[in-house]
Amino acid sequence: MGNDSDLPLPKTGEPSTGNLASKNEVHEGVKGAQPSKLSASSTSDQGLSKNQLKKRKRWQKQLELKRRRKEQEREVKRQKAKRERAEQAERERDGTGKRKRDEKWQQRMLKADSGNSFRVCFDCSFEDKMTSKEINSLSLQLRYVYAANKRSDWPVYVDVCGMNRQTQGFEILNKVEGFPEQWSNRAFRCFESGLEEVYSRQLQSSVDTEQSKKISATDQNDDKSSQVCCDVRAKPESGLYPSMKPGHRLIYLTGDSPNLLSTLDNNTTYIVGGIVDRNRLKRLAISRAETLHITTARLPLDEHVNFKGVTRILTCNHVFDILQKYRENGYTDWKKAIMTVLPDRKELEEKPCSKDDGKM
């Protein structure tokens, strides 16, 4: 922000432009302005008493003073905005503005301990099953996610998988300023590869675990399992992909899962299906999770909220906001997180506290 000392000072004896107009100026303005209106009003003053005339003149002075005051306030705001734009342009030229923003962001990430928090992944591998309008809607939801995470005091790392440059979703987001390079500096990374490649190490671990449980299976089943395992191992992990701690888990969130998500684990990536289908594509997310041998879970919506006929289908940004709010609440209050994120659904009704069954 610049100093007011940079502005030229008024001459001695002259009124400052920042002060309100004097009574003499107001009087002169009333006399000189709009003679046609004054002449018209003078004809209507004939039947008024002296007291009424005085009240009318005071009222006219107050109107004029109010008009001048608003004009001066607008001018002060215009000058302030002009100075701020010039200062911002100067900071951008020498790079100090970007450095300061990056430093503040890193401080927030450290304060929130985001490196030790859970991650969120959006699986955008369903574009071929959606209409153009649905893809537009998904792109907008991802923009909401980026904005919410960017301004949150508790940001988390967000991965978007399966959004290559040939997809319509990428073309839409590519029109947004800063995408994808600047977004990646705010813990929001887009990968052209699918989650099979981005999380190949975690998927391989899951497949190996399942295979160890099926040692006594038939040769035919062994061949099928080996084929899945080979498909995963054929895609090596790149240094550009997220680095995970040992034992890092993947959980695919879907309303079709029989497993209830009772809390969030910080060594887990929670995958959200990038699907906008108005509920016409049944069991799409859970089928993909089962194909990749990924554990599934559902948010505890029905355990805490009575939807009373309102749809339970949530947008991608609503799911993300609920996860983030639950973290902000200290991993203790699903009901508060859900009701905070979905206040516009007027038919929602809180349920009395009860113990969760089928916990993950």
- The string of DSSP codes covering 189-230 is EEESS-HHHHTHHHHHHHHHHHHHTTTTS-HHHHHHHHHHHH
What is the C-alpha R_g of the chain? 31
Residue 211 domain-assigned (yes or no): no
Total length of the chain: 360
Q: How far is CA 168 from the centre of its chain?
A: 21
- Claim to verify: residue 181 and residue 42 sit in the same structural domain: no
pLDDT at 338: 93
- Claim to verify: residue 170 and residue 286 sit in the same structural domain: yes
- Claim to verify: residue 167 and residue 81 sit in the same structural domain: no
pLDDT at 119: 95
Closest-CA residue to 249 (of 180, 304, 296): 296
Low-confidence ranges of the chain (pLDDT < 70): 1-45, 91, 95, 205-239, 345-346, 353-360
- Threshold 0.85, pTM exceeds: no
Residue 102 domain-assigned (yes or no): no
- Claim to verify: residue 84 and residue 121 sit in the same structural domain: no
- Claim to verify: residue 288 and residue 345 sit in the same structural domain: yes
What's the DSSP call for residue 43?
H
- Claim to verify: residue 57 and residue 192 sit in the same structural domain: no
- Claim to verify: residue 163 and residue 71 sit in the same structural domain: no
- Claim to verify: residue 333 and residue 267 sit in the same structural domain: yes
Q: How far is CA 167 from the centre of its chain?
A: 22
In the structure encoding, which two tokens stand for residue 313, read together? 């289908």
Q: Could you report the per-residue pLDDT of 317-333, keeping only the tens digit for each?
A: 999 999 999 999 999 99
Residue 4 domain-assigned (yes or no): no
Q: How far is CA 208 from the centre of its chain?
A: 37
Query: Could you give the number of structural domains in the chain?
Result: 2
Residue 2 domain-assigned (yes or no): no
**Which CATH number covers residue 139?**
3.40.1280.30
Cα angle value 269/130/252 (rounded, 5°): 20
Q: Could you report the per-residue pLDDT of 100-129, keeping only the tens digit for each?
A: 888 889 898 998 888 889 999 999 999 999
- Claim to verify: residue 79 and residue 168 sit in the same structural domain: no
Residue 208 domain-assigned (yes or no): no
335: containing domain: 117-199+241-350
Paired with 349 in beta bridges are 306
- Claim to verify: residue 32 and residue 88 sit in the same structural domain: yes
Residue 157 domain-assigned (yes or no): yes
Residue 290 domain-assigned (yes or no): yes
pLDDT at 330: 92
- Claim to verify: residue 299 and residue 258 sit in the same structural domain: yes
Residue 217 domain-assigned (yes or no): no
- Claim to verify: residue 178 and residue 288 sit in the same structural domain: yes
Last residue of a domain, one of 59, 94, 129: 94
Q: Could you report the per-residue pLDDT of 19-47, keeping only the tens digit for each?
A: 444 444 444 444 444 545 555 555 566 77
d(CA 332, CA 263): 8
